[in-house]
Amino acid sequence: MRIGIALAAGVLFLALGLAVNAPATLIDVRLNAISGGRVRLADASGTLWGGSGEVWLAPGFVARRVDWHLAAWPLLWGEARGTLIAAGGEPRANFALGNKGFALRDVALSMPADALVGVFGALAPLASASGVLSLSADTLIWREDVVEGRVALRWNGASLAGPTPDSRISLGEVRLDGIGQANALSGKVGNAGGDVDISGSMSLSAQGARVELVVRPRSELAPERARAIAAALALLGQPEAANGYRLAWSGSLL
């Protein structure tokens, strides 16, 4: 009996020893599998529990070098809990990941819009996007079918390909303030400045995302440019009152 206990203890300590020294490159292997190659961790150093690496987004954008720390004990009940932070304090997040969902706190992240579009295949129609996307959240908890917390998404200097090859449509600053309600994260979409006025809503749940917008050229635009933008919008949505066009999309982000 004592021999069996000793052997079991020896195996346990050996497993713990191997886990403590597990290389940071294992994180890259997992990210590659989960994201289908869209997100990688390049030049990783350290161990699974504490290290650093460069976050790489397809097709070749390096977000920033980040450091992480992962607590060991929460793994005993099937939860990965730790911190992620880059030099200068952004991106950063405190996270807890388990088989029933996740919890994020003190989140701050920003990156070029076209880099994020490359990660999410469903956003391919926005391939011409430019500007900087910023996401912040004090708390966001997603456990099975319950979503709690708030997030603020800002798209600064937003623009898309215009009606002619040498022109772009300025969207100004696009804003989304999302609130966890029941089983979804949902909120209003709007903008300030730019060539068009945007209003609508967006929701994200385990079943996918849904966006409904009304976009119209601003009244102060030169008539010729307003007509050109309206013609471009007509290819994307249905006519709406007051020279607007209704755009709707739903589906999975990946």
Give the torsion sign (CA, 109, 125, 253, 230): positive
Q: Tell me the pLDDT band of 5, cut-offs 50, 70 and 90.
A: very low
The tally of CA atoms less than 13 A away on the side-chain side of residue 115 is: 18
* Structure confidence by residue, pLDDT tens digits, 149-169: 999 999 999 998 887 777 889
- Residue 31's Cα: distance from chain center in Å? 14
- Written as six digits, the tokens of 112 are 């070029």
* Structure confidence by residue, pLDDT tens digits, 173-219: 999 999 998 899 999 999 999 999 999 999 998 888 899 999 999 99
Number of H helices, E strands in the chain: 4, 14
Query: Out of 123-132, 186-195, 222-231, which region has the weakest mean confidence (pLDDT)?
Result: 123-132
- What mean pLDDT, rounded, does the chain reach? 83
Q: Tell me the pLDDT band of 50, cut-offs 50, 70 and 90.
A: confident
Higher pLDDT, 13 or 86: 86
Q: What pLDDT score does 254 carry?
A: 59
Residues 176, 87, 106, 56, Cα dihedral to 10°: 60
Burial (CB count within 10 angstroms: exposed 0-12, middle 13-18, buried 19+), residue 42: exposed
CA distance 185 to 141: 10
CA distance 217 to 190: 14
CB 49 within 8 A of CB 72: yes
CA distance 135 to 147: 17
SS3 125: helix
CB 61 within 8 A of CB 75: no
pLDDT tops 60 at residue 136? yes
Q: Alpha carbon of 124 to those of 59, 91, 121, 153, 227: distances in Å? A: 13, 24, 6, 19, 25
Q: Which of 60, 72, 62, 109 is nearest to 89 (CA)?
A: 109
CA distance 137 to 163: 35
* Structure confidence by residue, pLDDT tens digits, 52-111: 998 888 776 777 889 989 887 787 777 888 999 987 788 899 999 888 889 999 999 988
CB 56 within 8 A of CB 40: yes
CB 109 within 8 A of CB 89: no
Q: What pLDDT score does 17 carry?
A: 44
Q: What pLDDT score does 72 carry?
A: 78
Q: Which long-range contacts (CB under 8 A, 24 or more apart) does 37-41 make?
A: 38/118, 38/119, 38/120, 38/121, 39/119
Tokens 């150093």, residue located? 45
pLDDT tops 70 at residue 3? no
